[in-house]
């Protein structure tokens, strides 16, 4: 069993829909990261959070430390949101050179 699990693995949505991607982890963490990777491209860090909720534009990330669970929400989805979304966690000993433990990613396709 992976230390970081994501669901769903694949998601197809219609433009405008509200999207939720889930991440569960089984290890202790100092932070959880949501990353976005477009096909063939580099990775962009969307959020880093250790508690509560963060919002940036149409993206919202929440984390429940007790339940070891995080969600990434996309409101009013758009075709340009189509990408792989990756959840990653930093172990508590991460420190200055923090290792990331990656989930397997969720491939999102938003159709016009």
Partner 1 sequence: DTEVTQTPKHLVMGMTNKKSLKCEQHMGHRAMYWYKQKAKKPPELMFVYSYEKLSINESVPSRFSPECPNSSLLNLHLHALQPEDSALYLCASSQGTSGGYTDTQYFGPGTRLTVL
CB 5 → partner 1: shortest distance, Å?
A: 12
Q: Is 10 in the site for partner 1 (CB under 8 A)?
A: no
Among 23, 31, 59, 63, binds partner 1 (CB under 8 A): 31
The residue among 47, 28, 31, 40 whose CA lies nearest residue 86 is 47
Q: Which stretch binds partner 1 (CB under 8 A): 19-27, 56-64, 66-74, 86-94?
A: 86-94
The residue among 45, 20, 43 whose CA lies nearest residue 31 is 45
Strands 10-14 and 106-111: parallel
Q: Between 60 and 84, whose beta carbon lies closer to partner 1?
A: 84
Among 3, 5, 22, 48, binds partner 1 (CB under 8 A): 48
Among 5, 22, 43, 68, binds partner 1 (CB under 8 A): 43
**CB-neighbour burial class of residue 50 (10 A; exposed 0-12, middle 13-18, buried 19+):** exposed
């Amino acid at each position: 069993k992976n230390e970081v699990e994501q669901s769903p693995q694949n998601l197809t949505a219609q433009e405008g829909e509200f999207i939720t991607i889930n991440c569960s982890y089984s290890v202790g963490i100092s932070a959880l990261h949501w990353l976005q990777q477009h096909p063939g491209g580099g990775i962009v860090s969307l959020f880093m959070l250790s508690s509560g909720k963060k919002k940036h534009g149409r993206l919202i990330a929440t984390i429940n430390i007790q339940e070891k669970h995080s969600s990434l929400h996309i409101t009013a989805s758009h075709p340009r949101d189509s990408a792989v979304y990756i959840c990653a966690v930093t172990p508590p000993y991460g420190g200055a050179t923090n290792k990331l433990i990656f989930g397997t990613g969720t491939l999102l396709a938003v159709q016009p």
